[in-house]
Amino acid sequence: MATHAHDPGDSISAAKQGGIAVAVITTVGGIIVAGLNLIGVFDKGAPASTTSAPTTISKPPQQTSPMGSMDKVEINAAGTEVTVTGSARKDVDSVAVMVGPRQSGGQYWASQASVFNQQWTVEVATDPRLPQPYTIDTRYHSVSGGAASESAFKFSFFQGTEPTPPPPPPANQIVNCAEQNGPNCFNGPGWGGPPSVYHSNQ
């Protein structure tokens, strides 16, 4: 009976070929899985959103004023704009809104708008991500003059025997003052009434 001798080199060569085949299959499999992940085949759901949703506060609880009220506060998703809408007494012609406290660059962010048909909307631009807690302080300007300070009368001019109060300062002047000095800017003619104040942590 004939016997066949096996060349040891044949076994080594076969082992090498098997190892190479396993390596190729593993590599190709990894590429396929990576590709499928890339196109979302194994996606287990969309990643959680990192953006915030806008905030709306209807009828915010507030320190009340006989001159008007805040009816709604809206903060955009980025926290860079606060929109306050409200109503006012018939003799109120403009409204100033301060939002704070501000981290730097002043005490508050502020803006001013006119009143139409006893309704008003003021948009206040703020830094991103409004600090918490925050306060919204709303001031009302009355055309009837309100309480005027002694210094205001020094700038009054006369028509006949009746003193006439000076016109209110331009909107940008009162806003710039409010951003740096807050409530201290509302002592002039027409700004004498109490404010509406909302605290986010109340």
Instruction: For 32-52, write each residue's pLDDT tens digit.
Output: 545 545 555 444 554 454 567
Same domain, 78 and 38: no
Q: Which amino acid does the sequence have at 12?
A: I
Query: Is the pLDDT score of 114 beyond 60?
Result: yes
Q: Is residue 66 part of a domain?
A: yes
Between strands 55-58 and 81-88, the pairing is unpaired
* Domain count of the fold of the chain: 2
Burial label for 18, CB within 10 Å (0-12, 13-18, 19+), is exposed
Average pLDDT score, the chain: 76
Q: Is residue 129 part of a domain?
A: yes
Can you count the helices (H) and strands (E) in the chain? 3, 10
Burial label for 31, CB within 10 Å (0-12, 13-18, 19+), is exposed
Say if residues 129 and 123 touch (Cβ distance below 8 Å). Answer: no
- How far, in Å, CA of 62 to CA of 202, rounded? 9
Domain containing residue 73: 55-199
pLDDT of residue 50: 54
Same domain, 74 and 31: no
Q: Is residue 17 part of a domain?
A: yes
pLDDT of residue 6: 52
Neighbours of 100 (CB within 10 A): 21
pLDDT of residue 201: 87
- How far, in Å, CA of 193 to CA of 175, rounded? 18
Same domain, 39 and 88: no
pLDDT of residue 115: 97
Q: 120, 152, 126: which is closest to 139 by C-alpha? A: 120
Tell me the per-residue pLDDT of 135-192, one tens digit each, with 9 for 90 and over. Answer: 999 999 999 864 433 333 333 333 445 555 445 556 679 999 999 999 999 998 999 7
